[in-house]
Chain A
Amino acid sequence: MNIHNHGGARKGAGRKKNSGNFKEQTKVIRVPISLVDSITPSIEVYKSQVKSGIEVLRVNEDPVKQLIPIFTSRVQAGFPSPADDHLEDTLDLNTHLIHHKEATFFVKAQGESMIGAGIHQGDILIVDKSLSPKSGKIVIAVVDGEFTVKRLHKYKGNITLKAENSEFEDIKIKGTDELIIWGVVTSVIHQYD
């Protein structure tokens, strides 16, 4: 028989063994198309880890058996409920009580000066900073740098912050006082013990 000494594979030619992305032998397998998207990310991640030279651990350290999950059943759609057509959103207190989310702050009431307006010690006030402070509104005011909650009263250019408890005095704003209306109280949350 004639032995060819030219042609064919050259020694040392071609891609080196274990030189690919995974630094080990690879194998071609058939994969159902529906599983491709879930398998590819795991392989990509593994590839980048091998590439960066970091040590790869399995989370699951001592697998007892290796089962390949197979999807044997289809999801049952279930018997349609007669109420399905009547489903509405559940009631959400946030949408009921808060109209300007970005401008709304919660503060805690201290003292009894507004008890006539239903504001008790420890109640949570919902304050909307976006509302314009009209006369008659309950407001969070800053007088000379200090916070207070009172009912705003504007009459002929005179501004008074009224307490709703006869034991407390109203605050009449004089020309020299610095008054800032911080926000308007829109609700009070009072929880019973």
Chain B
Amino acid sequence: MINKTKFALVDCNNFYASCERVFEPKLEGRPIIVLSNNDGCIIARSNEAKALGVKMGVPYFKVRDMIIKNGIVVKSSNYPLYGDMSSRVMKIIGQYSPIQEVYSIDESFIDLVGLPLHLINHMQSLRQNVKSWTGVPVCVGMGSTKVLAKLANRIAKKYTRFNGVFDIDELPYERYCKLLQSVEVGDLWGIGRQSAKKLNRIGIISSNDFYQADIGVIETLLGVNGKKVYQELYGNSCIPIEAIPPTRQQIVSSRSFGSDLTDFHELNQALTNLTRKAVYKLNNHKLATTTITVFIYTNPHKKNKACVHLSKTIGMTTAIKNESQIIPLISKILRLIYKPGHSFYKGGIVLSNLVKNYPQQDLFLTNEDNQRNIDSSNKSNAIRLVNKRFNESLKYASEIGNDKWRPKADFKSKRYTTSWTELLVI
């Protein structure tokens, strides 16, 4: 049978743990967990850690004893490393198809239709190349729709006899139904927890129940998105590949602080640092912002303490993009919302209403204003370049202080691929 459509989902195996292993090969075969920002919860596990029964999303402090007892290796999350390794992996995957969608930090869809190649061999070569070029192991699932490719990827991961590549379209009908029977409906791509609950209520438990159900029932219950998943199980592609990522709607930069902050200047330090990160992203995407939100929260889980959420949004007539324009604004907004006497545990900023960073700034500005804009733009660029070269050595005055806000990252590996001062030493 010739497919009108054919997709592959390439997914990295336990991506964060695999990245750590590339630069610490002695961790091969040992159980590893990776913690979220501020060493809060478990966000990634190696197969060995999964086998020991470590659950996703659990706060670290709750399972610390069990982790020490089992000799599980603990890592703080190292996003500079994971991000760089991800972009390497994605670029290699992109060489195997003219159309690629980078779906997440560790997953990518590619379009295989019309490639005059033996697809299994083509995908085996992809798999081996990613592994030997970057050290990161991946598995490939293929199918005539994205839902099927995602399902196929589960099989490729689960059964070692397929050698990491599985094409679900090759399965005969009975075997396909049997496979669907073994997968819970909530595990299908595109069926969320709420939808799964609704389906379970009318007796649809497995993916096969879903597959055998009446299309009208599915559409009434879940609407058009549920119907799409249903049709994709029958091999009719309804969810197209998104080769061009949608323009960013907003940039959020937030975090829980290393310890609670009460002082205005401590909060200002933390927010200045978060703002610099957000502006860096803004500039990388060649965008400018016209709306800024600042928020600070107290810990809602602390008993006997009022739960305080403070936030404010302002808009501007002109899109701005420079650190030296945005940072003072953030401080101003913080000054407006700040209330003394509370212990803030989390804060952040949101840049929204993003626009393409068009050169014509504001037609109603005077020549002096324009000159000032150009000056501030030059200043921001100079600071960026210095910081890139000299490891974040220039800081805004508002960022300097006691660093009480800095998150805990007690088990962090080095930024092996993005910092000259943290290279792997051999």
Contacts and interface: CB of A to CB of B under 8 A. Distances in A.
Please say whether chains A and B are actual partners in one complex.
yes
Max chain B Cβ within 10 angstroms of own Cβ: one of A35, A48, A59, A109: A59
A49 B291 contact: yes
Contact of B369 (A63, A140, A144, A146): A63
Interface of B: 25-26, 28, 88-89, 91-92, 129, 132-135, 290-291, 313-320, 325, 353, 355-356, 358, 360, 362-370, 416-417, 420, 423-426
B25 A145 contact: yes
B91 A102 contact: yes
Closest 5 CB pairs of A and B: A145-B26, A38-B360, A103-B133, A49-B315, A102-B88
Contacts of A65: 366
Contacts of B355: 41, 45
A146 to B, nearest CB: 7
A129 B133 contact: yes
Contacts of A186: none
7 contacts: A45-B319, A54-B291, A57-B316, A106-B423, A109-B425, A130-B132, A180-B25
Contacts of B314: 54-57
Given A45-B355, A110-B426, A68 B133 contact: no
A60 B425 contact: no
Interface in A22-80: 35, 38-39, 41-42, 45-46, 48-49, 52, 54-60, 63-69
Nearest to A130: B133
Nearest to A131: B132
Given A67-B367, A68-B364, A142-B25, A56 B317 contact: yes
Contact of A109 (B91, B313, B370, B426): B426
Contacts of A130: 129, 132-133
Contacts of A60: 318, 362, 365, 369
Interface of A: 35, 38-39, 41-42, 45-46, 48-49, 52, 54-60, 63-69, 100-103, 105-110, 124-125, 129-130, 140, 142, 144-149, 180, 182
A64 to B, nearest CB: 7
Nearest to A145: B26
Main secondary structure of the interface of B (DSSP, over half): mixed
Given A58-B316, A180-B25, A69 B133 contact: no
Nearest to A181: B132
Given A60-B318, A103-B133, A42 B362 contact: yes
Contacts of A55: 313-315
B334 to A, nearest CB: 15
Given A54-B315, A56-B315, A38 B364 contact: no
Contact of A105 (B26, B368, B416): B416
Nearest to B325: A59
A117 B135 CA distance: 26
Contacts of A180: 25
A52 B352 CA distance: 12
A63 B365 contact: yes
B70 to A, nearest CB: 19
Given A102-B88, A125-B426, A147 B25 contact: yes
A102 B134 contact: yes
A144 B26 CA distance: 7
A42 B318 contact: yes
B363 A56 contact: no
B426 A108 contact: yes
Contacts of B364: 63, 66, 68
B424 A147 contact: yes
B44 to A, nearest CB: 21
Given A108-B426, A129-B133, A66 B317 contact: no
A105 B135 CA distance: 11
Nearest to A147: B426
Contacts of A101: 91
A100 B133 CA distance: 9
Given A42-B363, A105-B424, A180-B25, 20 more contacts: A41-B356, A42-B362, A60-B369, A65-B366, A66-B366, A67-B366, A68-B363, A68-B364, A69-B370, A100-B133, A102-B92, A103-B132, A106-B423, A107-B426, A108-B426, A110-B426, A129-B132, A129-B135, A145-B25, A147-B426
